[in-house]
A = this chain, B = another copy of it.
Amino acid sequence: MTLTAERKRQEAQADFNNDLGQCPARQLLEAISSKWVTLVMLALADGQLRHSELRRVIPGASQKMLTSTLRSLERDGLVSRLVTASVPVRTDYELTPLGHSLLGVVYRMKDWAEANMDDVSHARMEHDRRHLASTR
């Protein structure tokens, strides 16, 4: 029966997916591709900000997403959290050196995007135009 081959294939896929998770580049990609991480990092590029200031600077972020984004950045050692035990509590966030170095990579992506997204947009329009024409 073909079950054996099928089984092998599925195991190979599982292994591969596992390897993928180990790949440093993929881990990085997953870390920064979350919708808000780059925005938070950019916001913190010039210095530390409070939780409420971040919300003001990034109007689109719900406080839930902001918090969870900050937590994951903190966990990865990219952002540090400074709590001042007063009433009311004050917490500031700032980029760590590691965070700043990642910021460099983010800027490079930004540069490529700004230099080339016109070409991409154009390609998309061309592609969509052709696809639309074929269905007419």
Q: Which residues of A are in contact with B by a Cβ distance under 8 Å?
A: 12-13, 15-17, 20, 24-33, 35, 38, 58-60, 74-78, 98, 101-102, 104-106, 108-110, 112-114, 116-117, 119-120, 122-124, 126-128
Contacts and interface: CB of A to CB of B under 8 A. Distances in A.
A46 B127 CA distance: 25
B13 A109 contact: no
Contacts of A122: 77
B119 A77 contact: yes
Contacts of A104: 112
Contacts of A16: 58-60
Given A25-B114, A38-B29, A127-B74, A120 B98 contact: yes
A26 B17 CA distance: 26
A33 B101 CA distance: 20
27 contacts: A12-B59, A13-B59, A13-B60, A15-B59, A24-B113, A24-B114, A25-B106, A25-B109, A25-B110, A27-B120, A28-B120, A29-B109, A30-B33, A31-B120, A74-B127, A75-B123, A75-B127, A75-B128, A77-B120, A77-B123, A77-B124, A77-B126, A98-B116, A101-B112, A104-B112, A108-B108, A109-B109
